[in-house]
Structure 1
Amino acid sequence: MDAHENTPRMQVLSVSDTVRRRRWTDDEKVRIVEESHGDGVTLAEVARRHDISRSQLYDWRYRHKNGLFGAGPQFLRVLQIEDGSVPDDVSAPPAPVLTIDLGPRCRLTIPSGFDMEAAARLLNGLMVRS
């Protein structure tokens, strides 16, 4: 009789170490992302310190860069003006702002806290249409 005939044909593996799913607030995610941009700190070190994967941290950095944490994406109001004057129903934006004149009939005002990469994409879209 061979030894392999006495071994069970099927084995049952049990998993006893279950991983809990953690929930991070947007403020915690932003704090960790900002920590990952520090001088002399590698992304892998920050991920290890907070017990998250590097891919998770890359995702959070992408979301933070594109303004997807917190209030969500921001939108600007774009008005077409006829004679270069601002209509009466438009309130003055809070200072400081960046104002871009795109010709005699179009002016773009960008608040200081707005994502400049998103503003560049908006400007590129406006330039293609005109």
Structure 2
Amino acid sequence: MDGVMEIITGREGRRRWSTADKLRIVAETQEPGVAIRAVAARHDICESLLFTWRRQVREGVLRAASDMAMFMPVQMIGVAPTESMPSNSAPHSVAPMRSVPTSGLIEIELGNGRHVRVGSDVNLGALRRVLAALRE
């Protein structure tokens, strides 16, 4: 009896997905009427991995690079004069002077004019959620 036998071994080994690929696949699951199982099968990934990525998007852990933190200019307020800066000159500033925050406070100025002050012991997850809400 001649026949062909196909051996199905399951999913292949560990693959590396770029953030853009993960976000694209998660976006597919958010279309109306789309089954998560079908999206997972189409991309040959486990459903549990897809659910993990969806949770990470909801929590703000997985997001596009343009939404990630970036360096912003920092301005020192109330700087004491140094040898390189004469006492009669003031530091250059672009924003109006505000009251100096107490020690341990961090002030974050968002592009839309909103300000957030947090202590040095702030929970990073909570701060991430607050900043995401304020950007909207």
Give the TM-score range, shorter chain: 0.3 to 0.5
When normalised by structure 1's length, the TM-score is 0.46
Structure number with greater Rg is 1
